[in-house]
């Protein structure tokens, strides 16, 4: 028999694969674990499975040392992630999130970089009622995390193009089609009828009993906006339209942001556009792509299990052949399109349906009341009278969507009264910033991110103002570790946490999210960050060419090399 160089690896599977296989379609011992009243924690096996149900066990890292000294177990708590395909929710759903944040979690709502909600600080004994309440308003936490397709992202800006609602419908269908079918979620959280022993393969026609080797992410972009950072997605669809008519989608594959320090075999990667298909064909393309990753992804080394490595190890031609074989038809040649930016555009805009949409800047997606800026209260009061929708953007911001002309004035008054537009008055740098959650909840954080970026920005703003660049749009991103949750490899300026107070500084990504950045300085503290960036910013102010973005400038002037493939990210 001839040896197939592209065959799936025969190496022994990792522990997580065994946990999944023996979980009986994500049931494990979760039901009895949740009933255990002795500890606020859950065993590791169940924790692995919990992710598929949309929750992670965490502990408050601010309290870790103190509790350890007092010989107490860590302050265990759970993060809950709520999926909202394309980021769209109703005012009733917003009000429910607002209420359960106070009732069951730490009082704040986090809008994520994938247009979902997160709640932090839910204790084990409140998980079930929280999840039940979420489901009562027709939202779900199922598959918000875990080795499955995650929240499907879609450009949420209905005013940006007439085809938006059609494109959104397709992302919703993608999301539904790729949702796990197991009944475990209903049994465990919603007191659904128990299926004692599921038939091997029967319950999950797409995923099978061991699900995917790793998380899988899909984003749908509507040019000229690349707000969903389509090149960072495992699978991307880029809407192609002519004269307001949706023609279909270009397909892109193999993006991803995560890497591990000290392991050059891991790297952020840009997805590559491989062809075009009609709207009706995208479900088939997505399903077959997911199945290829299911069959070929690395199940022995989780660090190497993302789809980007499955493709890079075998080559893009291999993937296209495999996809064509499974589809039974060929993708057409990719159609021309152009992205202009990957950020959000703020303020009021009128959509093609005659309704109004207001994009608000929400710093790092954290919805909470602050002294003089009662954001959470203001949004709650608006939700009580709003008849349109709320839209979470891929940049952690919020759109109050589909406001009728009659309601616009009232909403504008409330926006003023609660100072909700204060965020929009911030510098262009801040309006284009994102930071991941990091400390105190994220167990993987090596440095602060959400809690630190705002104050670092204050210092950078002074430099920018001095250089006359307060209104210059520069995409800036920070994460507390190299997992890349705020898609830092696509920041024109980016900081990735190395250790408390220390970051790697990257520069040179494309303003439209179409080029990776490159390491410029390693393991530096705040003073070194400011000292490194100050001369570059001043030089940019003086020497930039007309319309030249910061990321392009640092490449032209030789600060960093241009990176179009993750394979060159570390070189
Ligand atoms: Fe993420 C893990 C937060 C978007 C790549 N991510 C985590 C965990 C769950 C930490 C953990 O495993 O213990 C973080 C929870 C922190 C906390 O306390 O809340 C976490 N990720 C987030 C969020 C909330 C960041 C945010 O500030 O918004 C985002 C939630 C998205 C959602 O709603 O589904 C979030 N994570 C991302 C993205 C961006 C994206 O998807 O567009 C990425 C990079 C894209 C990618 O996947 O390649 C991302 N998160 C990761 C990784 C690295 C995966 C890898 O390929 O190596 C991890 C670690 C892991 O999976 O082992 C991770
Ligand atoms: Fe945590 Fe790292 Fe993701 Fe930030 S990038 S939320 S520190 S895993």
Each residue's pLDDT tens digit, 72-122:
889 899 999 999 999 999 999 999 999 999 999 999 999 999 999 999 999
Closest ligand 2 atom to the C-alpha of 480?
A: 7
Tell how far CA 476 is from the center of its chain: 16
Instruction: Kindly report, residue by residue over 296-321, the tens digit of the pLDDT.
Output: 999 999 999 999 999 999 999 999 99
Can you state the angle between helices 307-314 and 316-327, rounded to 10 degrees? Answer: 110
- Whole-number Å distance between alpha carbons of 212 and 207: 6
pLDDT at 200: 46
152 three-state secondary structure = coil
Band of pLDDT at residue 258, cut at 50, 70 and 90:
very high
265 CA → ligand 2 middle, Å: 20
pLDDT at 564: 98
Nearest CA owner, ligand 2 atom 2: 481
Instruction: Kindly report, residue by residue over 511-560, the tens digit of the pLDDT.
Output: 999 999 999 999 999 999 999 999 999 999 999 999 999 999 999 999 99
Name beta bridge partners: 447. none
User: Contact, 384 vs 411, CB < 8 A?
Assistant: no
| Residue 380 in contact with ligand 1 by CB distance below 6 A | no
Give me the active site residues, please: 81, 150, 215, 217, 436, 442, 481, 485
Band of pLDDT at residue 201, cut at 50, 70 and 90:
very low
- Angle, alpha carbons 438-444-450 (nearest 5°): 5
| Residue 305 in contact with ligand 1 by CB distance below 6 A | no
| Non-local CB neighbours of 562 within 8 Å, separated by 6+ positions | 508, 515, 518, 555
Can you state the angle between helices 282-296 and 307-314, rounded to 10 degrees? Answer: 80
Where do the H-state alpha helices sit in 84-124?
A: 91-103
Residue 337 structure tokens: 């399109």
Mean pLDDT of 42-68: 94
Closest ligand 2 atom to the C-alpha of 443?
A: 1
145 CA → ligand 1 middle, Å: 9
pLDDT exceeds cutoff 70 at 221: yes
Tell how far CA 565 is from the center of its chain: 21
Name beta bridge partners: 246. 241
Instruction: Kindly report, residue by residue over 501-511, the tens digit of the pLDDT.
Output: 999 999 999 99
Q: Which of 395, 42, 467, 408 has its CA nearest to residue 219?
A: 395
pLDDT at 194: 63
249 φ/ψ angles, rounded to the nearest 5 degrees:
-135, 135
442 CA → ligand 1 middle, Å: 10
Q: What is the pTM of this model?
A: 0.97
Nearest CA owner, ligand 1 atom 8: 442
pLDDT exceeds cutoff 70 at 196: no
104 CA → ligand 1 middle, Å: 23
Band of pLDDT at residue 37, cut at 50, 70 and 90:
confident
> For residue 235, what is the enclosing H or E element?
strand 235-242
- Which ligand places an atom closest to the C-alpha of 448? 2
Can you state the angle between helices 282-296 and 316-327, rounded to 10 degrees? Answer: 120
- Average pLDDT, whole number, for the chain? 95
Mean pLDDT of 30-38: 91
Percent of the chain with pLDDT over 70: 98
- Whole-number Å distance between alpha carbons of 410 and 417: 11
Nearest CA owner, ligand 1 atom 34: 114
For a pocket test of ligand 1, which of 217, 481, 483 has the largest count of ligand atoms closer than 8 A to its C-beta? 483
- Which ligand places an atom closest to the C-alpha of 145? 1
89 φ/ψ angles, rounded to the nearest 5 degrees:
-135, 160
pLDDT exceeds cutoff 60 at 1: no
Q: Backbone dihedral region of 385: left (phi > 0), alpha (psi from -120 to 50 degrees) or beta?
A: alpha
| Residue 481 in contact with ligand 2 by CB distance below 6 A | yes
Instruction: Kindly report, residue by residue over 111-159, the tens digit of the pLDDT.
Output: 999 999 999 999 999 999 999 999 999 999 999 999 999 999 999 987 7
- Whole-number Å distance between alpha carbons of 167 and 162: 10
pLDDT exceeds cutoff 60 at 366: yes
Residue identified by tokens 């696509």 is 490
Where do the H-state alpha helices sit in 70-144?
A: 91-103, 127-136
Closest ligand 1 atom to the C-alpha of 116?
A: 33
pLDDT exceeds cutoff 80 at 287: yes
- Whole-number Å distance between alpha carbons of 399 and 395: 11
Name beta bridge partners: 239. 249
End-to-end alpha-carbon separation of the chain, Å? 39
Name beta bridge partners: 235. 218, 253
Instruction: Kindly report, residue by residue over 405-439, the tens digit of the pLDDT.
Output: 999 999 999 999 999 998 788 999 999 999 999 99
- Whole-number Å distance between alpha carbons of 182 and 159: 37
pLDDT exceeds cutoff 70 at 197: no
Percent of the chain with pLDDT over 90: 91
- Whole-number Å distance between alpha carbons of 235 and 291: 12
Tell how far CA 304 is from the center of its chain: 20
């Amino acid at each position: 028999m001839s040896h197939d160089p592209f065959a799936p690896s025969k190496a022994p599977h990792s522990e997580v694969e065994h946990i999944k296989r023996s979980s009986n379609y994500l049931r494990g011992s979760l039901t009895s674990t949740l009933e255990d009243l002795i500890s606020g924690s859950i065993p590791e096996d169940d924790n692995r499975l919990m992710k598929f149900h949309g929750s992670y066990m965490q502990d408050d890292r601010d309290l870790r040392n103190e509790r350890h000294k007092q010989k107490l177990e860590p302050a265990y708590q759970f993060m809950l992630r709520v999926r909202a395909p394309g980021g769209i929710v109703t005012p009733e759903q917003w009000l429910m999130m607002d209420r359960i944040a106070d009732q069951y979690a730490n009082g704040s709502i986090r809008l994520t970089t994938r247009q979902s909600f997160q709640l932090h600080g839910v204790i084990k004994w409140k998980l079930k009622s929280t999840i039940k309440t979420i489901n009562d308003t027709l939202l779900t936490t199922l598959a918000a995390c875990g080795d499955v397709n995650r929240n499907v992202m879609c450009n949420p800006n209905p005013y940006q193009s007439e085809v938006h609602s059609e494109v959104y419908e397709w992302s919703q269908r993608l999301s539904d089609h790729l949702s796990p079918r197991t009944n475990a979620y209903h049994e465990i959280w919603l007191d659904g009828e128990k299926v004692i022993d599921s038939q091997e393969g029967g319950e999950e026609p797409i995923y099978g009993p061991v699900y995917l080797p790793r998380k899988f992410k899909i984003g749908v972009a509507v040019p000229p906006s690349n707000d969903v950072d389509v090149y960072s997605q495992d699978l991307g669809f880029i809407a192609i339209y002519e004269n307001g008519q949706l023609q279909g989608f270009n397909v892109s594959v193999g993006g991803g942001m995560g890497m591990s320090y000290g392991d050059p075999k891991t790297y952020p990667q840009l997805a590559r556009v491989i062809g075009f298909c009609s709207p009706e064909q995208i479900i088939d393309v997505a399903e077959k792509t997911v199945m290829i990753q299911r069959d070929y992804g690395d199940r022995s080394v989780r660090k190497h299990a993302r789809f980007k490595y499955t493709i890079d190890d075998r080559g893009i031609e291999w993937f296209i052949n495999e996809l064509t074989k499974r589809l039974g038809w060929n993708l057409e040649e990719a159609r021309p399109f152009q992205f202009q930016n990957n950020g959000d555009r703020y303020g009021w805009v009128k959509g093609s349906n005659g309704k109004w949409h207001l994009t608000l800047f929400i710093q790092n997606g954290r919805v909470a009341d602050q002294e003089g800026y009662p954001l959470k209260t203001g949004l709650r009061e608006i939700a009580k009278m709003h008849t349109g929708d709320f839209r979470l953007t891929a940049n952690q911001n919020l759109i109050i969507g589909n406001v009728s002309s009659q309601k616009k004035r009232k909403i504008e008054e409330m926006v003023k009264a609660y100072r909700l537009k204060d965020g929009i008055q911030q510098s262009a740098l801040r309006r284009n910033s994102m930071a991941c959650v990091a400390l105190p909840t994220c167990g993987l954080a090596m440095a602060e991110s959400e809690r630190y970026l705002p104050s670092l920005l204050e210092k950078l703003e002074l430099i920018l103002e001095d250089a006359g660049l307060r209104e210059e749009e520069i995409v800036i991103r920070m994460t507390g570790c190299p997992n890349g949750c705020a898609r830092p490899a696509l920041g024109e300026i980016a900081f990735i946490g190395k250790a408390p107070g220390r970051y790697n500084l990257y520069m040179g990504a494309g303003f439209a999210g179409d080029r990776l950045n490159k390491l410029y300085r390693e393991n530096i503290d705040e003073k070194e960050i400011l000292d490194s960036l100050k001369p570059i910013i001043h030089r940019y102010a003086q020497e930039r060419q007309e319309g030249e973005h910061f990321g392009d400038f640092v490449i032209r002037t030789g600060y960093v090399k241009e990176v179009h493939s993750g394979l060159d990210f570390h070189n």
